[in-house]
Each structure stands twice: as C-alpha cells, then as structure tokens.
A = this chain, B = another copy of it.
C-alpha cells in the first residue's frame, strides 16, 4: 500500500536518471529537458547574462532583421556572363565560404579552382594555374564578397553565365552559376574534359537561351514558387524536384518563344528534364538576395550568412555586417554512393547553407520526410524532431514558407546566435558530400552541424 493518499505525479527537470528509475517503477513522469545555459560553461553563461540586460533592444533589432529577411521579394531577371552581370574582372576566381589562403584550400576546391583557370584559358595546365595563384596573378575571393553564392566549391569566373536575382523589396541583386547537374561536375571538384565541355555548353548555348527567355518573361517571382515547392516535399537543399519542375513549367513558354534554333531549346529542356536539383542554385541566389539587406542592423544577433569552403565554416551576424566568425568545418554524416564511405569524404563545403539561413533546408525537414532518411533511422518522426530543434534556435516562424504537414505553421527562420549558444543546439544543414580527392566528384549526401565555435566567437564579440 502506498504511503501517499494518491499515486505520485512527478515532473523531472534536467538529467533523466531520476525519471528513468521512476519509469521503471511505472510511476508516471513528465520530463522537462532542462539544461544549464551554454552547457554549463560559466564564461559563456556570463556573456549571455550580460546581453540579457539589453534584451529589449536586441529583441527589437532582431525583429527588424527578421522582417527584412523573410519579406524579401526575389525575382529572377536574367542570365548573363559574370563579366557583364557582376562586372567580375578577369584573373579572379570566386569560391564558396569565408576567405581562405591558397595553402589551406581543400583538394576538391583546389581542383575546381585550377580547372576554372584552364576553362578561362588563363593557363594551359594545373601546374601553370597554381603558379598564377601563388604569384598573385590570379586572385581568390569569396562569392559572398561579390554579391554571389556558389554551391560546394562555389567556383565562379568571368565568362561563366550567372543567374541574376533582384530582391524587389530592396533593389539589391544576387548571382549564382547555373547548376551543372550531377555526376562529374566542377562544384564537386571534378576537373576533366567533360567538365569543361559542359561549362562551355552552359556558356555558349544554355546561358544565352536562359537569359533571352528570362528577359522575355519580365522576371519570374521566386518566393511564391519556393513557398509552393515547400508544400510539395522540397526543403530546397537536398530535394528540389518540386521547385525545379515548377520553374521549368514557368520558364518553358519563354524559352519556346525566344528560341530561334529549336534544337537548342530541346537540349535545354532535356537538361532540365533530367535534373531534379536544378533549382538549388536559384534558391541560393534568392536566399542571398534576401539575407544581404538583413545585414548591418545594429544590435541584431541573427545570422545572415552560413558558408563553408571545405576547410573553414564562417557565419556572419546582422549586427556586424560583413565580418566573419570562423571555425573549422565539421564532417557530414550521411549516405554514400556505392563504393564510397566516410573515409572518402571531404569536410563540409559550399555557400548552399544560405538555404538554412532563410528557413529552408534542415529547418524545413518536417516538409520533406524523404530527406530525413539521411538522418539515421529517417522518417516522419525524425523530420519533425529536426524542425522542432531548429525552432528552438530561431527567432520566429516564416510568414511565407509554410509547412502543410504542420497545419500551415511557418518554417523556423532567423537563426539567433544567443539561442544557439544558450541551448547548445548547432544549426543542422543538409548537404552534398564531395570526395576529398581532387577530380573524383560527389560521393554522397547527408547532414552536417554548423560548428558551435562560430557562434561562441560571435557571442564574445557581441558581449564585448
């Protein structure tokens, strides 16, 4: 007989040990997953406490940055060589992620940079190309410094065609290369003749046709298209089949109208028909156009950039504008193509985490249970849990990007440095995986965490 007049009802706060013991005795327990702020790190907790005194000011600044971030109106206007669209000079190679010295560049990124120099005709072979970089005759710069983003290696040079996205709410523009498709492609560090042949086709036939069609279209609005695709199972990082299909459907009338050689239109349509991930680059440029105006809001602790170059992971925080906070990249976990495994993978790379920065990708996993198979067991429960975790570190729910399976709740958006450090939850990013060996290309796809070091560094600067 119990000594209590009624059976006990227990709320367990923090560690599960006590709860587990009671559960074994069949006593009902409600668990509260409380953890000390910043995982109990006294220094970080003190910094968080210091910022807590400025809470109202920070909240207001974050709301301003959030409103800019989520209400951008990206419109796809054109496709032109980077030389024209971005005034990109010769002898400059853009890459993904934060700035990096040549000596520290990871092998697949290095392979892509050298291949691009050959493609441009600045050097005849990789040795000569590397020599140009070492001598300073070809310079490296992040895409993000030139109003651009690049997937994986993110390599972009003057003669490559770029899509031009304008954020009509603010008038700023962003640029991105045409996604090359799967297989042996530059962005994964492949560098043979087939890679250059495809780049040539993109520059000489596909790019000009995209450009003419887009100019004829008066612009294609991307935000409604992305909102629609999110209702079609795309999180728009690992899965873009809905967005790619909607985009092709919107574009093809204009391609058909402007194409003076119907075989060119047929080749373009064929390329698009076989390419479910085509839209990724457009989602990235849309994201870049949406986050750039959200940078530089004084007092805002929201993340406006997450980007990786295969060696370092960098974030930028609204309050600090264009300043980078950098830490070593993590290794993705995921599923590998036959014949490859974790030992073959290069650490995380690419500007594509811009997608997570605007509330899609990992944070929108609940919309995309098919993508959750990269998360161990995979499935609906894992997908929901991922979105729940991201909600804990985000400012609010996106007013336009809504998730049908959550009864139209918005995807969590506006990653907050303070919440990341306080909870210890690092943003989760869906990603492709490149071989660590130059020239091989993609070996898998999976998920990766942003390193907490970027966020604690930003916190120290904010509280300093």
Contacts and interface: CB of A to CB of B under 8 A. Distances in A.
A265 B380 CA distance: 41
A253 B269 CA distance: 5
Contact of A233 (B233, B253, B254, B257): B233
A9 to B, nearest CB: 14
Contacts of A45: none
Contacts of A250: 273
Nearest to A252: B269
Contacts of A408: 379
Interface string A260-283: 101101101110110000000000
A103 interface: no
Interface in A209-246: 228, 231-233, 241-242, 244-246
A27 to B, nearest CB: 15
Contacts of A268: 256
Interface in A403-439: 404-408
Interface in A330-362: none
A259 interface: yes
A242 B234 CA distance: 11
A54 interface: no
By secondary structure, the A interface counts as helix
A266 B272 contact: no
A161 interface: no
A260 B266 CA distance: 12
A248 interface: yes
Contacts of A269: 252-253, 255-256
A195 to B, nearest CB: 23
Interface in A110-160: none
Nearest to A248: B249
A71 B257 CA distance: 40
A269 B257 CA distance: 9
B249 A256 contact: no
Interface residues of A, number: 38
A369 interface: yes
A263 B272 contact: no
A44 interface: no
Contact of A245 (B246, B259, B380): B246
User: How many chain copies?
Assistant: 2
B369 A405 contact: yes
Contact of A273 (B249, B262, B380, B404): B249
A370 interface: yes
Nearest to A250: B273
B263 A257 contact: yes
A404 B370 CA distance: 7
A233 B257 CA distance: 31
Contacts of A233: 231-233, 404
A250 B241 CA distance: 12
A370 B402 CA distance: 12
A249 B232 contact: no
A100 to B, nearest CB: 38
A256 B245 contact: no
A388 B4 CA distance: 43
B262 A257 contact: yes
B245 A266 contact: no
A272 B249 contact: yes
A232 B241 CA distance: 9
Nearest to A246: B245
A262 B256 CA distance: 6
A177 to B, nearest CB: 21
9 contacts: A232-B233, A242-B242, A248-B249, A253-B273, A256-B256, A257-B262, A259-B262, A369-B404, A380-B405
Given A249-B273, A253-B269, A262-B265, 8 more contacts: A245-B249, A250-B273, A252-B273, A256-B259, A256-B266, A256-B269, A260-B262, A379-B407
Interface of A: 228, 231-233, 241-242, 244-246, 248-250, 252-257, 259-260, 262-263, 265-266, 268-270, 272-273, 369-370, 379-380, 404-408
7 interchain residue pairs of minimum CB distance: A245-B245, A256-B266, A253-B269, A232-B232, A253-B270, A256-B265, A257-B266
